[in-house]
Structure 1
């Protein structure tokens, strides 16, 4: 059983070559936390619908800014592909999880507001909507200031920005922290909810 995962796009500096890359952290994360599944890295040169019949769910990983925040050819390419993924997940009710940049992309897709932020490149506290608190890792320079109407907040940073949310009707969740890195699962309930939906899909 496979979970599709989008990759960071890189431009090699020593000679011209565009690369798709997935951090080794993800392999360790699957080995420890998703033992029934294998990661299937998604190539931007292959139509997502080719992958879709083989997937139990999809993760939009971190890396690269959104083109609306920091325009570049790589960001534009990634935005276009992840829009294809998100549209398919909506149409087919395929569970989707956005991580950091992936969360930003989902938020932007549904009309949320993103803005530059400070002190989000280090560990910091978050408060869940059930009033529990924890500390998570953080590696982003843009935060989600307000959510679009289709989205429901699940956690906030101390500055009031949104750290986690879900879609009100579809099987879509998003986290601004990196579950695959150290302290990424200090808060597990949202990840577990997404995971339970994977297991329900036949």
Structure 2
């Protein structure tokens, strides 16, 4: 990985510069709005995968595709109609599936396979999920081709970066150790840490009333290493500068692809939780982009 050169600090509240490879131009998205009174948008939900497992008490010889319920409830609570997206099969190709949705939510879940970004695993403990990677990357590319807005969560955030040409840390404790706990198996989504919204970034503009220092949940051991071309950082982990959020440049133009991704799990946050960065602006931004592309 190439060494980073320091440049003038672009963040509020950080005492050290933002690495040069983390700098991107900004774009403009509108702050949150409420579309509950309008016709429900059809929100595609990417699939999580479970493969045959003899230890499983049911369907143990079968591959299961599923959605985590918190994600579905978040979409429905915001006024969207969730549509589950299986792997294309038979007469139903990817074009047909994507044509049925107004926007896409990329779910979290399994690790990304290092081979998906041209690396080899540093440990047999983290082989990743190349089958799901192939599905996700094809879905991302098709949505970008068809100008379908994307909201990417945790693994979805990571695979979006990979699909656009970026790379990942396979394990933070080994490849980028710090004092920040990004994962605690016992606490799970109760594991929280501080993060910094990047002043002037489009992502920060989604949170005009929030402090530049915020708190997010954290359930990951992989993370973005090299940022893909075309992405703009919007949030960094406060003490170790791990990338926590980005947006795709040009998304303010309805004729260009829109994507926003976060490393945390907003679907696990209650709407009235005063301790964590609110999730509502994220879904509102997705809905606004979808509505803009309908007009």
Tell which deviates more after alignment, 168-177 or 100-109.
168-177
Higher RCO (Cα < 8 Å, 6 or more apart): 2
Q: Give deviations 1:34-82, integer Å, cap 9, x for gaps.
A: 21x211111124432222222110111001111216335xx12211111
State the match for 1:3 in structure 2: 43
Specify every segment of 5 or more residues in structure 1 that has no aligned partner in the other structure, as ranges.
none
The 1:27–1:191 alpha-carbon spacing in structure 2 relative to 1, beyond 3 Å, is: closer
Mapped partners of 1:31, 1:5: distance in 2: 12
Match of 2:266 among 147, 172, 179: 179
Tell which deviates more after alignment, 92-101 or 181-190.
181-190
The 1:44–1:27 alpha-carbon spacing in structure 2 relative to 1, beyond 3 Å, is: same
Mapped partners of 2:143, 2:285: distance in 1: 17
Mapped partners of 1:27, 1:87: distance in 2: 23
| Higher Cα Rg, which structure | 2
Match of 2:127 among 71, 81, 89: 71
Question: What's the CA shift for 1:10?
Answer: 0.8
Mapped partners of 1:28, 1:62: distance in 2: 15
Mapped partners of 1:123, 1:93: distance in 2: 34
Question: What's the CA shift for 1:7?
Answer: 1.8
1:50 match: secondary structure: helix
**TM-score when scaled to structure 2?**
0.62
Question: How do 1:128-139 and structure 2 match up within 5 A?
Answer: 128-130=197-199, 132-139=212-219
Mapped partners of 2:194, 2:61: distance in 1: 41
Tell which deviates more after alignment, 129-138 or 147-156.
129-138
**TM-score when scaled to structure 1?**
0.88
Question: What's the CA shift for 1:111?
Answer: 2.6
Match of 2:66 among 21, 31, 53: 21
Specify every segment of 5 or more residues in structure 2 that has no aligned partner in the other structure, as ranges.
1-40, 115-120, 174-180, 184-190, 200-210, 251-256
State the match for 2:28 in structure 1: none
Mapped partners of 1:166, 1:50: distance in 2: 26
Q: How many positions carry a matched residue from both structures?
A: 198
CA RMSD of aligned residues (A): 2.0
